Structure formats: structure tokens, C-alpha cells
Amino acid sequence: MDDQIRMRADQALIRYGGKFSDFVAASAKGSFIYDARGRRVLDFTSGQMSAILGHSHPAIVETVRRSIATLDHLFSGMLSEPVVDLAEALKAITPPGLDRVLLLSTGAESNEAALKMARLATGGYEVVGFAQSWHGMTGGAAAATYAAGRRGYGPLSVGGLAIMAPNLYRPSFGAPSSADWRAELDYGFDLVDRQSTGALAAFIAEPILSSGGILDLPPGYLSELKRHCEKRGMMLIVDEAQTGLGRTGEMFAFARDGIVPDFLTLSKTLGAGLPLAAVLTSAEIEQRCHERGFLFYTTHVSDPLPAAVGLAVLEVIVRDKLEKRATEAGQRLRKALETLRDEFDCIGDVRGRGLLLGVEIVKDKASRKPDTALGARITDHAMELGLSMNIVNLPGMGGVFRIAPPLTVTDDEIDLGVTILRDAVRGALKG
């Protein structure tokens, strides 16, 4: 059956990034995905880093069932109570200064809207991002994405600038034991100033660059970044598609640095696997943009069904204290991964926060040379043994596993995942 589905896919689908997995999913529940024969795979990436409550969570199932039967989609200019409820709930869990909410469908769409608002509010058009960033595949978001996907499509939006994100495992400034991220950030903005035409609008940043190889911005980095932005009249957009809503152990990852961004964008985790995104900004910025004619009229803006799902997600996270669970489970998982790092010379680094962790594969700890081939073999062995993980490869970096199980993951499931990973590494090293 699976072979037939893959053959049909070859004749019917456009390939949109690498090859399709040999595993063909038939159902999913909690932390596991099942094929038609009942073989189960432990999902250590929460689907596409999104199913923060696991698959088919009862609260989400019930919300979708109820909403699809009552209120699912409306004219984009029409209001509904679920939309207002979710906007108020998001305001309630964010600090003052994030007082207005726009509900959309995808992370790229929310970043697109934030970028348009920042340009409209400042009058500038230049956008700075990290050279390892991923913010989406639509026009403006793609222009601020540097991790992959830039070649072969012709010119992107003008005004795109990039600086290096800090990689404390392979620092650009100083040795690993004494990396100077402040000097690197200052140098990056010196280059920005030299390249800018004087029309800087925004800096867009993930607190943990996920597709960039789980690069966790050091404590204090976002506050320094905010200072650089304010000095230049730029707005700071924080993209918490993957870090938001408890995954790092805090409701929002930017909170660690005690800052409030000009824009907060949410997506993946907000819908718990369904397409839902949000932009939050201040009442002042919203008013300025409104007066200047802000337009972002899309087919699914303010749709009631996904809004109801988002509200259910927030209720479950708050009710079950899942941000606290992310801290506890993350500590257990990190400790186990660090044990593997000590056991295998090919595991160079373990990094991240809460339940968003990265494991970098290298030829050996001494050289820190990338070994993407070994990372690919580990991926294949893990899937054969029943563990789904996602690996990203960037120039100058070893293959980095992004490990992000649902916040509902059990201790036994964490232990099972680490056991499978250990066996996968051993199998891959044998050839």
C-alpha cells in the first residue's frame, strides 16, 4: 500500500523541498504517528514543529468538531466572537506594548504583515535579518530568509541586509571559550550602516534560529539588538513561530531578555498543527499604520474556526502549565542528550532551551568539522527504528538535529527517543 501511494505521489505531486519520506502516515495520536500497518514512529519534531499539544489532542478535536458545525469561515471584513476572544487572550499573556492583534494563516503571512506595517510606520524599506534566518516563502518573508532558497528566482525585494547570528559553538569573534557576541553584533551593525541608504525599517529575528541550526541567542542579545534598532529608528520584529507559547520554558522566548518587541509574530505553535498565525503590535503603531492606509486583506484573515482552535490551545497551555512542563521535560531531555554527547565523539554540541534542542553532528569533537553524511545516515537509521527527527545542514556547520517533541511528551517517551537515537548513532557509525 505504501509503495503504491509513493508511486502515485511521483505522478501527481510537485516536489517542494528534498525528497518525501518513505514513511506514509495514516493516523497520529499524542507523540506518535502510525502507518496503515500500525507501525508507529515517535514524533520528535511535533509535525512541522507545530503540534505543540501532540496529535489529535482532545480539546482541539472537540473545538474543530464544534466550530466546523457552527462557524468556520466568513467575509474578511466581518467580526466573530472567537476572533475577539483570541485577540484578548493573546493580549492577556503578553506584556503591555503588544496591544493589537491581527489573525492570519501562516508564519510567512504574519511576517509579511509585520514587515509591511514596519515599513509603513517608519517610512523606510530596508529590512535586516540574520544570515542563518528562515522567515517564510512569500515575497517579503523570503527576502528576509537567508538560510536557504535564495538562488534561481531572480531579484528579491530590495533593501534586504543581513548580519551573522552568533554561533557560540563556532564563533566568528573569539574562541569558543570566550566568544564575544557583542563585538560581532556591533560589527554587523557597522556593516549595516555602511550599506544602508538611510531607509532602515526593521530587524526581524528568531530568539532561537531553528532552521539556522538551533542557534540560541545569548542572554542579553535581544536587548542589545533592540538598542541598536532604537538608535537607528528601526522596529524590532520577533518571530516566535517555533519558540512561542511555552516551548522554551517561558510563554515567549523574548521575555528572558526583559524587552518588548515592536512586533511579535506567532504561527506554528498557535494553531497546534492547524494553519493559524498572529501579529501583535502596540496600539500606537497600529493607529499610525491605520491612518496611513494599512492594507492586508486576505481570504482567511480573522477566520473564526482557527481562532477558536487558537483559544483552545492557549487554554490548555495555561491550564496544564505546559511552559513549566517544557522546562522540566527539557531538562530531562537535555541531560540525556548530553550523556550521548559524552558517549560519542561525533556529537559535537547540544544546545537550545526547553523543548527546542539541537544536536550537532561532526567528524570529531577536536576538529569540529561538519559531517553531514553521517547526520543523514543517523536520520535514516532513526526512522527505521521508529524515531522521526529533522536535520538541517548549513555551510560551515555540521548536520544539526532539531528536536522538538510536543509539550505533552511523557518522560517514558523522552527516554524512548533517546534510546532510539543512541542505537541510530551506533548503527550509522558502523556504516
Active site residues: 134, 206, 239, 242, 268, 402
Nearest to 143 by CA among 130, 131, 158: 158
CB atoms under 10 Å from CB of 290, counted, come to: 12
Q: How buried is 2 (Cβ within 10 angstroms: 0-12 exposed, 13-18 middle, 19+ buried)?
A: middle
Give the span between the Cα atoms of 175 and 173, in whole angstroms: 7
Q: How buried is 367 (Cβ within 10 angstroms: 0-12 exposed, 13-18 middle, 19+ buried)?
A: exposed
Contact 376, 370 (CB under 8 A): no
Q: How buried is 395 (Cβ within 10 angstroms: 0-12 exposed, 13-18 middle, 19+ buried)?
A: exposed
Q: How far is CA 417 from the centre of its chain?
A: 21
CB atoms under 10 Å from CB of 355, counted, come to: 31
Q: How far is CA 339 from the centre of its chain?
A: 26
Contact 44, 32 (CB under 8 A): no
